[in-house]
């Protein structure tokens, strides 16, 4: 991705150059007459081997390449899945796939080191609807600037930062906004709710010392069932619970897995990690701002409420 001179306007502004943002930007810019601008807060690290080598994912946690959000107090976890290019053996991501595509798209501009602090909203005189007309961007040197969107602002800032950006812009639960001195423009109590996250249980296991170096990375992965989970939804959920259908569909079907087991090793020590991840957790949490527009960098309050649904805790316990 490139760090470049910012235009004063674009037809479409995509906030966030992650997986979703780059896919949307790529498809939109197939129309040659449309100007697409992607604003990505992170710096261009596409050639960093730590990012390209999927085995090194855990070494990124807590670094500058990680937003370093922490959940409010509860079981701590790190979600992880790996998509690997079968030819190179390197991580396959939207980032490296779309970088090459961008070369042939003069109407697509991707700017890194550009953090969107706020969506600019205004009332349409004709429809009386609230319209997103642009964004306020902060560059790496702290300079603030506004960019107009003549068609749309597309939010793709990820599961944690999209609700944060909406709330900082005045869209969200008015009580939460008022707590942080933000004037509600659209009162929408659903913003930041229904957060769904996978928890992962990991158990380090010592291995017998051996000659040579262990091959690092995922050694085995299996999607499994306990065999006795079919009635768990009926036991814990009311017949009218909207999740019951999905839950039954997984837990009653012998062809479907309720968890994923893996064994992973690291090169430096004689330890293997045994891990269990529930496939479809039912617990729902929330993510909300922890301060107002005067401190847009403050970390949001992330509360996944892991194991708040009794199905999750019983299923995980049985798998363990």
Ligand X SMILES: Cc1cc2nc3c(=O)[nH]c(=O)nc-3n(C[C@H](O)[C@H](O)[C@H](O)COP(=O)(O)OP(=O)(O)OC[C@H]3O[C@@H](n4cnc5c(N)ncnc54)[C@H](O)[C@@H]3O)c2cc1C
User: Contact positions toward ligand X, by CB under 6 A?
Assistant: 15-21, 39-42, 57, 79-83, 91, 115-116, 156-158, 161, 165
Residue placing its CB nearer to ligand X in the complex, 111 or 315: 111
Rounded to whole angstroms, how far apart are CA atoms 272 and 216? 10
Find out whether 52 and 85 touch, Cβ atoms under 8 Å: no
To the nearest 10°, report the CA torsion of 190, 193, 196, 197: 150
Residue placing its CB nearer to ligand X in the complex, 158 or 310: 158
Residue placing its CB nearer to ligand X in the complex, 31 or 82: 82
Residue of minimal Cβ distance to ligand X: 18
The DSSP string of 209-220 is --SSPPPPEEEE
Find out whether 86 and 95 touch, Cβ atoms under 8 Å: no
Residue placing its CB nearer to ligand X in the complex, 123 or 145: 145
Residue placing its CB nearer to ligand X in the complex, 18 or 134: 18
> C-beta of 116: minimal distance to ligand X in Å?
4
> C-beta of 18: minimal distance to ligand X in Å?
2
Residue placing its CB nearer to ligand X in the complex, 81 or 246: 81
Residue 194, SS3? strand
> C-beta of 209: minimal distance to ligand X in Å?
30
Burial class (CB in 10 A: 0-12, 13-18, 19+), 216: middle
Among residues 160, 163, 155, 114, the alpha carbon closest in space to that of 13 is found at 155
First to last CA, the chain: 43
> C-beta of 91: minimal distance to ligand X in Å?
6
> C-beta of 198: minimal distance to ligand X in Å?
10
> C-beta of 31: minimal distance to ligand X in Å?
21
For residue 99, the 8-state DSSP code is H
């Amino acid at each position: 991705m490139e760090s470049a001179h910012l235009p004063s306007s674009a037809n479409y502004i995509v906030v966030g150059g992650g997986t979703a943002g780059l896919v949307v930007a790529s498809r939109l810019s197939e129309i040659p007459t449309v100007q697409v601008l992607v604003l990505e807060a992170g710096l261009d690290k596409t050639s960093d081997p730590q990012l390209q080598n999927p085995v090194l994912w855990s070494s990124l946690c807590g670094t500058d390449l990680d937003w370093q959000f922490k959940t409010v107090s509860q079981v701590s976890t790190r979600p992880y899945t790996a998509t690997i290019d079968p030819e190179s053996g390197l991580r396959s991501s939207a980032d490296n796939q779309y970088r090459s595509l961008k070369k042939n798209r003069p109407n697509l501009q991707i700017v890194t080191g550009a953090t969107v602090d706020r969506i600019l909203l205004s009332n349409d005189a004709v429809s009386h609807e609230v319209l997103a007309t642009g964004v306020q961007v902060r560059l790496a040197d702290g300079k603030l600037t506004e960019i107009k969107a003549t068609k749309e602002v597309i939010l793709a800032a990820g599961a944690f930062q999209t609700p944060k950006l909406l709330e900082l812009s005045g869209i969200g639960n008015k009580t939460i906004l008022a707590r942080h001195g933000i004037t509600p423009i659209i009162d929408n109590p659903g913003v930041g709710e229904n957060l769904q996250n996978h928890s992962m249980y990991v158990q380090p296991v010592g291995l017998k010392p051996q000659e040579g170096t262990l091959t690092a990375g995922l050694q085995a992965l299996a999607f499994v069932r306990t065999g006795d989970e079919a009635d768990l939804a009926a036991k814990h959920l009311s017949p009218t619970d909207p999740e019951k259908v999905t839950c039954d569909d997984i837990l009653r079907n012998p062809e479907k897995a309720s968890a994923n087991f893996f064994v992973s090793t690291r090169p430096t020590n004689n330890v293997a990690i045994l891990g269990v991840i529930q496939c479809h957790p039912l617990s729902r949490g929330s993510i909300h701002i922890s301060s107002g527009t005067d401190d847009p960098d403050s970390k949001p309050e992330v509360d996944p409420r892991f194991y708040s649904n009794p199905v999750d805790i019983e299923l995980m316990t049985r798998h363990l």
